[in-house]
C-alpha cells in the first residue's frame, strides 16, 4: 500500500491563509445524501478544532499535551518546551478558586501581586506574568485583569520560557518566563448537571451551577452554562470578598467545519483587603505578622467588572489542511480606594496614604491561520501560518492624599478616617480620558520537519511583529508620547526521540515585550512610554514517558532588560539574567496513587545595574529553590475516598536590589480529601481542604513589578468544604 502525499505549494499555502481570513464555515466535501456520510464522533473540544482536547495523562491531573499557538495541540513528547497542562479534575478536587490556586502546584511558578493593587501575578522562572497577559483559548487580553475565577476554565496550560513566536507579544509586556493559556468549558458527550454548595473559613459562602448538553443529530451542537457566586468574609480578619461569575459556551461540529463561541462576565469586589507592605530603603527585614492580621484601612475597596466574548471557526481544506479564524473582545472597569503601608523601622511602624483610581478598558483581538502537511523527498513538513491583531484602549484617572500620610503599624494597626484624596490628581475620576492605546499586529510562519521515521522533529519559525504604543495626558487627553516599532522574532528547536518513551530537545526563542510605562510614587516622568525590548532564551531538556508516569528535566538561560526608578525617574537602565534547572514528575506510578510536583533551581542575577552598584547581586523576588511535592491517594477498603497532600517550599529571596532585605524561606503544607458516593440515586461528591495546615506566618513573595520589592503576607489556615450533586 502506498502512502498518499499531499503537495502544498507556496502559492497554495498563501491562498489557504487568505481563505482562513474569509471563510467562517464551509463543508470540506461536495454535498451528498446524509445516509452516505459517515457518523461524526463527537469529542468535546475547547477550541473548535478537529484535534479536540489532548487526552488526560494517567492519574487525570494533567493532560498529554497542550496548545502551542499556531502549531496547534502538541503532545508533551513532541513539544520542544517544558510545559504542564492542568485538568478540570485537579481544579475541582483541590477546590481551586482562581488560576493562582491552580499554578500553586507548579514548581516553576510562584504567585505574587501587582504593584499597588490586588492583581494576581505569576512568577514563572523568576519573571512576572500578569493576569492580563494570560491567554484565553490562545487570545490575549480577554480575561478579567486582576482575578480569574476557575469556573470560567476547563484547563490551565503553563508553557515555560520566552516564546513570543508562539503566540505573539503579550499586550502587557509579560511572557518572558513563560505564559498561561486557559481553555474554556464545552459540553461533554454525556449530559452534565451539577450543583455545588460550599463554605470557607471566615464565613465565605459558595454556590455554583454547571450545565452541559449536546443537541441535534449525533450531538453535533453543544451548550455549556456556568454560574457561580461567592460572598462573605475571608480567613483574614475583617476582609470581605464577593464574586459573581457567568459564562456560556456553545459549539457546533459540522461536516468539514467546527464553530465555537463564548461569552462571560465576572464581577469581583474586595472590601478591607489586606494591602502589600513596602519597606523603607534603610529598613531591615521585619518578621511577618500573624497571617490573619489585617492592616487595611476600613474604607478601602477594590471593584472590577468585566464582560468578554469570543468566536472561533475551523474549516477543513482540500488535502487535509485546516484554516481557522478567531475574534474576541472585552469591556472592563475597575475602581479602587487603596492604602498600602511603608514600614520605617523594625518595630513595624509606618505611614499610609490614600490612592484612588478608576480604569476602563476596551479590547479587540483576533487571529487567522492555516496549517497543512506536505512531503519533500524523505522529509515530512507541517507548515503553519497565522496573522494576528490586538487593539486596546484604556481610560484612567487617579487621586492621592497628602504625601505625608498618616501613621500605622503592621503588628498593631490603627484605623483612621478616610483622608481627602484631592491633594494630587490626574484626570477626572468621574469621566476619565483615554490615557493609553496599544495596537499590536504580527505575521508568523512555521515549519515542523519530521525526519528518520519521525524520530527527529525540527521546528523553524519566524514572526514579524509590529507594536504601536500611544500615551496621553491624564488631564487634557492630548498625546504626549508615542512610538511605532517592529521586530522579527525567530524560533528554532529540535526534538530527538531516542526511544518511544524518551526524548531530548533544545530550543532558541525570544520574548518581545511592549515597552514599560513609567509609574510609581512621586516619579517625574509618570506615564512615559518606552520602546519595546527583546529577551533571549536558550533551553535544553529531556522527557521520559512510561505511560503511567512522566519525568522531565530542563536547563535554561534567559536575559531581559530591566526597568526601575532612579532619582525619581523611571527607566530601562539594566539587565537581568535568569538561569536554572527544572525537574518535574507527574502521573500514576502505582495503582491508587497520583503524584505531581518537582524542583526548580534559579540563579537570577542583576548583570547590568545603575552605576554598577548592585551588579552581580540577586534579582528582587526570585528564590533560588522552589520545591513542590503533591500526592493523591485512594484509601484502600473505602470506595470513593481519596486523600491528598501538597508541600510547597520556597527558599529565601530579596526585597531590594542591594540584597540587604532578605525574606526567610518558607514551607507550607496543604491537606485535602474527596469522597465520591451516591445519595438518593444521585452522584454526590464531598470535598474538604485545609491550606496552610500549620497556620504559618510568612512573607509569601517580594516584588513582581520592576525595581519594587513590596511584600505580600501569606494567607492564614483556610478550611474549605463543598458538596457537588449531579442530576
What does the pLDDT look like over 430-473, one tens digit per residue?
A: 999 999 999 999 999 999 999 999 999 999 999 999 999 899 99
Range in 9-13, 316-320, 464-468, 577-581 the model is least confident about? 9-13
Is residue 22 over pLDDT 60? no
Each residue's pLDDT tens digit, 497-543: 999 999 999 999 998 887 777 776 678 887 777 777 888 999 999 99
Q: 43 in a domain, yes or no?
A: no
Is residue 69 over pLDDT 70? yes
How many domains does the chain contain in total?
1
- Beta strands (DSSP E) in 548-652 are 549-566, 569-590, 593-608, 625-634, 641-650
Q: What integer pLDDT is reported at residue 132 of this predicted model?
A: 76
Could you tell me the residue range of the domain that residue 582 belongs to?
A: 10-28+49-726
Do the Cβ atoms of 554 and 507 come closer than 8 Å?
A: no
Do the Cβ atoms of 44 and 188 come closer than 8 Å?
A: yes
Q: What percent of the chain has pLDDT over 90?
A: 79
Those residues whose C-beta lies under 8 Å from the C-beta of residue 561, and which sit 6 or more positions away, are 533, 535, 572, 574, 575, 576
Each residue's pLDDT tens digit, 612-626: 888 999 999 999 999
Q: Kind of pairing, strands 433-451 and 502-513?
A: unpaired
Each residue's pLDDT tens digit, 83-133: 999 999 999 999 999 999 999 999 999 999 988 889 999 999 999 988 778
**CATH code, 667:** 2.40.170.20
Q: Kind of pairing, strands 433-451 and 456-472?
A: antiparallel
Q: 272 in a domain, yes or no?
A: yes
Is residue 261 over pLDDT 80? yes
Q: 36 in a domain, yes or no?
A: no
Lookup result for grid cell 522579527: 488
Is residue 19 over pLDDT 60? no
| Mean pLDDT within 389-397 | 97
Q: 106 in a domain, yes or no?
A: yes
Whole-angstrom distance, CA of residue 717 vs CA of residue 693 = 6
Range in 116-120, 147-151, 201-205 the model is least confident about? 116-120
Is residue 338 over pLDDT 90? yes
Q: What integer pLDDT is reported at residue 46 of this predicted model?
A: 62
Q: What percent of the chain has pLDDT over 70?
A: 93
Q: 39 in a domain, yes or no?
A: no
Q: What integer pLDDT is reported at residue 38 of this predicted model?
A: 34
Is residue 723 over pLDDT 80? yes
Do the Cβ atoms of 441 and 512 come closer than 8 Å?
A: no
**DSSP, residue by residue, 114-166:** -TTS--EEEEETTEEEEGGG-EETTBSS-S-SS--BGGG-SEEEEEES--HHH
**Could you tell me the pLDDT band of residue 601, with boundaries at 50, 70 and 90?**
very high
Whole-angstrom distance, CA of residue 162 vs CA of residue 179 = 8
- Beta strands (DSSP E) in 401-432 are 406-409, 424-426
Q: What integer pLDDT is reported at residue 516 of this predicted model?
A: 72
Each residue's pLDDT tens digit, 542-599: 999 999 999 999 999 999 887 777 777 888 778 899 999 999 999 999 999 999 999 9
Q: What integer pLDDT is reported at residue 567 of this predicted model?
A: 77
Q: 339 in a domain, yes or no?
A: yes
Each residue's pLDDT tens digit, 465-490: 999 989 999 999 999 888 888 889 99
Is residue 21 over pLDDT 80? no
pTM tops 0.85: yes
Amino acid at each position: 500500500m502506498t502512502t498518499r502525499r499531499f503537495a502544498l505549494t507556496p502559492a497554495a499555502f498563501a491562498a489557504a491563509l487568505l481563505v482562513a481570513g474569509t471563510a467562517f464555515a464551509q463543508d470540506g466535501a461536495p454535498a451528498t445524501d446524509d445516509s452516505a456520510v459517515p457518523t461524526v464522533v463527537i469529542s468535546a473540544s475547547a477550541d473548535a478544532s478537529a484535534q479536540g482536547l489532548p487526552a488526560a495523562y494517567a492519574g487525570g491531573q494533567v493532560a498529554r499535551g497542550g496548545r502551542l499557538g499556531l502549531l496547534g495541540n502538541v503532545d508533551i513528547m513532541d513539544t520542544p518546551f517544558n510545559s504542564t497542562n492542568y485538568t478540570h479534575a485537579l481544579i475541582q478536587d483541590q477546590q481551586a478558586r482562581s488560576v493562582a490556586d491552580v499554578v500553586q502546584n507548579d514548581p516553576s511558578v510562584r504567585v505574587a501581586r501587582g504593584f499597588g493593587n490586588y492583581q494576581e501575578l505569576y512568577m514563572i522562572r523568576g519573571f512576572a506574568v500578569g493576569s492580563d497577559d494570560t491567554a484565553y483559548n490562545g487570545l490575549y487580553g480577554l480575561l478579567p485583569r486582576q482575578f480569574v475565577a476557575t469556573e470560567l476554565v476547563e484547563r490551565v496550560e503553563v508553557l515555560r520560557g520566552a516564546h513570543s513566536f508562539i503566540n505573539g507579544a503579550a499586550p502587557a509586556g509579560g511572557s518572558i518566563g513563560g505564559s498561561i493559556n486557559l481553555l474554556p468549558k464545552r459540553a461533554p458527550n454525556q449530559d452534565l448537571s451539577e450543583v455545588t454548595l460550599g463554605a470557607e473559613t471566615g464565613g465565605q459562602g459558595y454556590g455554583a451551577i454547571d450545565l452541559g448538553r449536546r443537541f441535534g443529530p449525533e450531538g453535533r451542537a453543544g451548550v455549556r452554562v456556568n454560574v457561580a457566586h461567592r460572598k462573605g468574609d475571608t480567613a483574614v480578619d475583617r476582609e470581605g470578598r464577593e464574586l459573581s461569575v457567568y459564562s456560556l459556551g456553545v459549539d457546533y461540529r459540522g461536516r468539514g467545519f467546527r464553530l465555537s463561541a463564548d461569552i462571560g462576565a465576572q464581577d469581583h469586589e474586595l472590601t478591607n483587603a489586606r494591602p502589600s507592605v513596602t519597606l523603607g530603603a534603610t529598613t531591615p527585614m521585619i518578621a511577618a505578622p500573624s497571617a490573619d492580621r489585617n492592616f487595611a484601612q476600613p474604607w478601602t475597596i477594590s471593584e472590577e467588572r468585566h464582560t468578554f466574548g469570543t468566536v472561533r471557526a475551523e474549516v477543513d481544506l482540500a488535502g487535509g489542511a485546516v484554516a481557522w479564524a478567531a475574534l474576541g473582545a472585552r469591556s472592563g472597569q475597575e475602581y479602587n480606594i487603596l492604602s498600602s503601608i511603608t514600614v520605617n523601622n523594625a518595630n513595624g511602624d509606618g505611614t499610609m496614604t490614600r490612592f484612588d483610581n478608576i480604569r476602563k478598558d476596551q479590547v479587540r483581538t483576533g487571529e487567522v491561520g492555516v496549517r497543512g502537511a506536505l512531503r519533500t523527498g524523505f522529509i515530512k513538513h507541517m507548515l503553519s501560518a497565522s496573522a494576528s491583531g490586538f487593539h486596546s484602549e484604556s481610560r484612567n484617572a487617579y487621586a492621592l492624599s497628602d504625601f505625608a500620610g498618616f501613621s500605622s503599624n503592621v503588628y498593631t494597626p490603627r484605623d483612621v478616617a478616610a483622608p481627602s484624596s484631592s491633594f494630587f490628581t490626574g484626570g477626572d475620576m468621574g469621566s476619565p480620558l483615554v490615557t493609553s492605546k496599544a495596537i499590536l499586529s504580527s505575521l508568523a510562519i512555521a515549519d515542523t520537519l519530521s525526519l528518520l521515521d519521525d524520530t527527529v522533529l525540527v521546528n523553524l519559525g519566524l514572526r514579524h511583529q509590529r507594536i504601536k504604543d500611544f500615551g496621553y495626558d491624564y488631564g487634557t487627553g492630548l498625546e504626549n508620547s508615542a512610538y511605532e516599532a517592529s521586530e522579527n522574532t525567530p524560533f528554532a528547536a529540535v526534538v530527538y526521540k531516542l526511544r518511544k518513551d524518551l526524548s531530548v530537545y533544545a530550543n532558541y526563542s525570544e520574548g518581545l515585550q511592549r515597552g514599560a510605562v513609567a509609574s510609581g510614587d512621586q516619579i517625574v516622568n509618570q506615564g512615559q512610554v518606552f520602546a519595546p525590548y527583546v529577551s533571549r532564551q536558550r533551553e535544553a531538556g529531556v522527557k521520559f514517558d512510561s505511560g503511567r508516569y512522566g519525568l522531565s528535566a530542563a536547563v535554561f538561560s534567559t536575559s531581559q532588560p530591566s526597568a526601575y526608578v532612579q532619582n525619581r525617574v523611571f527607566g530601562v537602565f539594566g539587565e537581568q539574567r535568569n538561569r536554572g534547572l527544572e525537574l518535574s514528575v507527574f502521573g500514576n506510578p502505582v495503582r491508587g496513587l497520583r503524584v505531581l510536583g518537582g524542583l526548580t533551581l534559579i540563579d537570577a542575577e542583576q548583570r547590568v545595574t545603575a552605576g554598577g552598584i548592585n551588579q552581580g547581586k540577586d534579582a528582587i523576588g526570585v528564590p533560588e529553590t522552589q520545591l513542590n511535592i503533591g500526592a493523591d491517594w485512594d484509601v484502600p477498603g473505602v470506595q470513593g475516598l481519596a486523600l491528598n497532600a501538597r508541600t510547597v517550599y520556597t527558599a529565601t529571596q530579596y526585597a531590594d536590589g542591594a540584597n540587604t532585605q532578605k525574606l526567610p524561606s518558607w514551607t507550607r503544607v496543604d491537606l485535602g480529601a474527596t469522597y465520591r458516593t451516591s445519595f438518593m440515586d444521585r452522584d454526590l461528591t464531598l470535598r474538604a481542604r485545609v491550606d496552610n495546615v500549620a497556620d504559618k506566618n510568612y512573607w509569601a513573595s517580594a516584588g513582581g513589578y520592576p525595581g519594587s520589592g513590596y511584600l505580600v503576607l501569606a494567607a492564614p489556615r483556610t478550611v474549605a468544604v463543598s458538596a457537588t450533586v449531579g442530576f
